[in-house]
């Protein structure tokens, strides 16, 4: 739903009776070309239809937001005196720096 105007919302509303009349393919084409649709049943929103790419983008935004919230929470409770350096951790775990050179790590 690219427009958050009254007209944009009105264009996004799809009565469930259109599905009952066999117009599902046409509605799916409308979602693909025009964006999100709100399916109404008994004059109430029953579900929201969106493309898989829109859904993926939305879920990615939610995930990013949750990670940012977690990072902010951790930083709020961060105490430098209670942390350890990488060298201290490696020494405690008995890992030599050269052992990590051939390990590939993928960060997304």
Nearest C-alpha neighbor of 12 from the set 30, 75, 89: 30
Spatial CA neighbour of 64 closest among 54, 53, 72, 76: 72
Mean pLDDT of the chain: 90
Q: Residue 3's pLDDT is what? A: 55
Q: What is the pLDDT of residues 61-86, one digit of tens each?
A: 999 999 999 999 999 988 888 888 98
User: In the 8-state DSSP scheme, what is residue 80?
Assistant: G
pLDDT digits (tens, 9 = 90+) for 18-31: 999 999 999 999 99
Give the CA angle between residues 42, 23, 38 to the nearest 5°.
45
Contact 16, 46 (CB under 8 A): yes
């Amino acid at each position: 739903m690219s427009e958050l105007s009254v007209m944009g919302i009105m264009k996004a509303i799809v009565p469930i009776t259109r599905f009952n009349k066999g117009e599902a393919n046409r509605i799916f084409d409308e979602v693909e070309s025009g964006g999100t649709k709100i399916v109404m049943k008994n004059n109430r929103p029953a579900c929201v239809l969106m493309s898989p790419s829109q859904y993926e983008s939305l879920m990615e935004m939610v995930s990013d937001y949750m990670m940012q919230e977690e990072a902010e929470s951790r930083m709020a409770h961060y105490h430098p005196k209670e942390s350890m350096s990488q060298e201290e951790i490696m020494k405690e775990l008995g890992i030599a720096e050269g052992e990590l050179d051939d390990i590939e790590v993928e960060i997304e």
